Chains A and B, each alone.
Chain A
Amino acid sequence: METPENNKVNAPAGAAPAAGARPAAVRPAAPAAPAQPAKNLCEPKTVEPAALRKEMERLRRDEQMDFLECLTGMDWGEEGGLGVIYHLESTATGKRVALKTATTDREHPYLPTVSDLWDIANIYEREVYDFYGIIFTGHPDMRRIFMREDWVGFPFRKDSNPEKDNPLRMTNEPLTDLAPCYTLEADGTVRRSETPIFGEDDYVVNLGPQHPSTHGVLHFRIKLEGETIKKVDPILGYIHRGVEKLNESLTYPQTLALTDRLDYLGAMQNRHALCMCIEQAMGVEVSERVQYIRTIMDELQRIDSHILFFSCLCQDLGATTAFLYGFRDREKILDIFEETCGGRLILNYNTIGGVMADIHPNFVKRVKEFIPYMRHNIQEYFDVFINNVIFRNRAEGVGVLSKEQVISFGCTGGTGRASGWHNDVRKRMPYAMYGKVDFKEITRTEGDSFARCMIRMDEILESLNIIEQLIDNIPEGPFQEKMKPIIKVPEGTYYSAVEGSRGEFGVLLESRGDKFPYRLHYRSTGLPLVAVMDTACSGNMIADLITIGGTVDYVVPDIDR
């Protein structure tokens, strides 16, 4: 704790610098172990692999569990086996359920697929296969998703040694054109078959990985007929950093540093989610002041992200002037962030038990200046771009997603709300100050690109309303709870979610009581948005893919993690 290096990493936990600066800000020590079970503790019901299909079909059909919120691969060791945790939710009743299943066969781990029940399970199960080697029988496309095709072994298994099996390769990554499929025969054996992804005579164009409109290092293989798109095959993982794996060898305060680097336009919310998950698991109550600050920061971050959404959409559609209008206004938010956090993109602000530093003396004044400024300037966005007939023609009726599709693909956030799905975590599971402020959940019913754009514009105004309600009433109090120097989370599985800039950002934490997490999984907000691209784009033109990709609004570091 005394070495400078430790001090830097553990500053929020140690609270030594903070305490020195503001003695009043320190409270008596938080209780080490909670008296009652943690708010976010989830106790998944165990289901045997053989019974899984039947149970899942029952939940999907009879109990209307139409939203597969999260699907997490797990390695519970030799006796626990390799398994999966499923989080399901019924959008009609709001009922939530968690299930888990596992197989102890580490050589040939087979589990039945659920990709025919929920569309999003297709890509989630590929992720689990990639990391844990669990083969989902009946899954149509068991390719790797983030790792290279020639990767040896499965990196997230606790017994794997990626360094030994996978030296730095100096060759290009081979891309397979065959999708393997494993089917469970009646006699219990598993048969492997392969189906080609593209036919011999297909005209396939690569969009990315270096392309101005994929908003990062994303790669689409597109089958074209003339200018019409027939199929989109996303290739992911170009900036996969193994954040989840890294977390398993980092202490809790250290894991915080990586969340800002997932969805860099939702840095505040991501870190908020992780801090909240750990705090709730430990039973720590943060002060009201911290809740206010976190809520305001989250909303500022949301405005920041939505302005950038608008700017990038303009740029994608060739309206460079409107693009710079957005950047002009985003600059104001970044200046506000910079004063308080010191950073503009990577903010490093939330900590376990509070925030890194109290708000800057100018903060309230600057935010109050910003609210009318933004309300005035958003009108310009409408004048120069959104009400333009060319944009209307390019966005209206393009890439329509029905409510059933967005739920099945788990497209939360603005993309889901544009199709009429009420999925706002701030309303579903209120956290921080969201239960106490008065705000509307913006939804539309059209589900086209234009609706997705308008959702974001209206959310900017709604976020301004939330900030306006809070900014004058920030209560006095400590900005950082006193935490123990070494943070340990009680044993259990915990799930917390916040409304990120582009959907539900969830944190699944499994702890074995150590100072390191046993498993930390992030529910990516962007992965479902990429998964839905094939459905949204097929039958449209290349230019529409740009519009659709721009309006579903994915951020690649969040997808690849």
Chain B
Amino acid sequence: MFDFSIVSQWIHGLLTSVMPEWAAVLIECVLVALVIITLYAVFAIALIYFERKVCAFFQCRIGPNRVGKWGLLQVFADVFKMLTKEIINMRNSDRFLHNLAPFLVIVASMLTFSCLPWNKGAHILDFNVGVFFLLAASSIGVVGILLAGWSSNNKYSLIGAMRSGAQIISYELSIGMTMLTMIALTGTMQLSEIVQQQADYGWNICRGHIPAIIAFLVYLIAGNAECNRGPFDLPESESELTAGYHTEYSGMHFGFYYLAEYLNLFITAGIATAIFLGGWAPIYFPGLDGFNDVMAYIPGIVWFVGKTVVVVFLLMWMRWTFPRLRIDQILSLEWKYLVPISMLNLVLMALVVAFGVHF
């Protein structure tokens, strides 16, 4: 498997040979930031196109097909439109908080995005408390949503924001619990280490068998709720609250929410891939050496993105099939079912690890 750290070390060596270390690090930081932002935008555009096509085929439609070949340029046209639109300031809104809120959302989303392990040796933020950082960073987003609802001076927005706050904070509990379950299995919180272990010993969802599968399912449901996507999209449920917390936003401020929603989908799927489905590790069957060799030739980033897209497809399938839940049903699903299940599951995983009955 190709180790990306060779490239990054080569660049670092090249830079330090012509300039002092601090300048080299500075340039690297800027480069990395540019890469993140570019990747962020590219993935958002790809996901929006993907979702439109997927939902069209679920709904006996064709989807975008006029702008560019197969409608490929449709999303670019939409982004361009959004960039040119006026940002409207609402009367009696809290101007400062109103403008700040979208940035909080997008910053939280980007921070979480930087935690994804793309390939062996290719991770931007990789601490020994990586999972912990990830959870912390992703929960900044809810502050942005609450602020948006509060500062808009709109009752719909406020109700949407309150719903969103209740929902996201509740479901973070399940996410934390499933993460904890997997940390009990892997024994580390560093994402690169978690993926490396899976490359060595097999995917976690197979290694941890029953408790890991339960954790994966709970994570998928809770992750979907974290992204505010159907059937959990009631903070912005258009048939009740028109657009929920981002009703009063226009132009690129709305665009930030829109981008963050799609990227959060990708991030949720990406984390699921990294923690349960082996991240960039290729598929491996003991005994089938020829097959395994071929698989190992496929670059890690292709594996990672490929698996993530599969999970994204699963989440889209959920979204375009189910009707929306009601707020009390969402909360009772979390507090009465998912939290007890994931707690029991954690105990089960602890027993599995303690008695060594995992693969």
Contacts and interface: CB of A to CB of B under 8 A. Distances in A.
Interface in A311-346: 314-322, 324-325, 328
Interface in A193-220: 203, 205, 211-213
Interface in A382-419: 384-385, 388, 390-391, 393-394
Interface residues of B, number: 29
Contacts, number: 82
Given A205-B155, A542-B159, A543-B237, A320 B55 contact: yes
Interface string A291-303: 0000000000000
Contact of B324 (A318, A384, A545): A318
Contact of A321 (B241, B242, B321): B321
Interface in B22-70: 55, 58-61
Nearest to A545: B240
Interface residues of A, number: 31
- Interface class of chain A by DSSP: helix
A546 B240 contact: yes
Contact of A390 (B58, B61, B323, B328): B323
B325 A394 contact: yes
Interface stretch (B9-17, B228-236, B349-357): B228-236
Contacts of A325: 59-60
Nearest to A212: B239
A317 B237 CA distance: 9
Counting chain B CB atoms within 10 Å of each CB, which of A321, A322, A393, A546 scores highest? A321
B41 to A, nearest CB: 26
A541 interface: yes
Contacts of B58: 321
A384 B322 CA distance: 8
Given A205-B155, A394-B329, A542-B159, A388 B239 contact: no
A321 B328 contact: no
A458 B103 CA distance: 51
B239 A213 contact: yes
A318 B55 CA distance: 13
B320 interface: yes
A319 B322 contact: yes
B323 A211 contact: no
B21 interface: no
A318 B59 contact: no
A29 to B, nearest CB: 52
Contacts of A542: 159, 240-241
A328 B61 CA distance: 10
Contacts of B230: 318
A227 interface: yes
Contacts of A385: 323
A318 B326 contact: no
A390 B325 contact: yes
A385 B231 CA distance: 13
Given A317-B239, A318-B239, A388-B322, A543 B60 contact: no
Given A205-B156, A321-B320, A324-B59, 13 more contacts: A212-B238, A212-B239, A227-B159, A317-B323, A318-B324, A388-B322, A390-B329, A393-B326, A394-B325, A394-B326, A541-B327, A543-B234, A543-B240
11 contacts: A227-B327, A317-B239, A318-B231, A318-B233, A318-B322, A319-B322, A320-B59, A324-B61, A328-B60, A391-B323, A394-B325
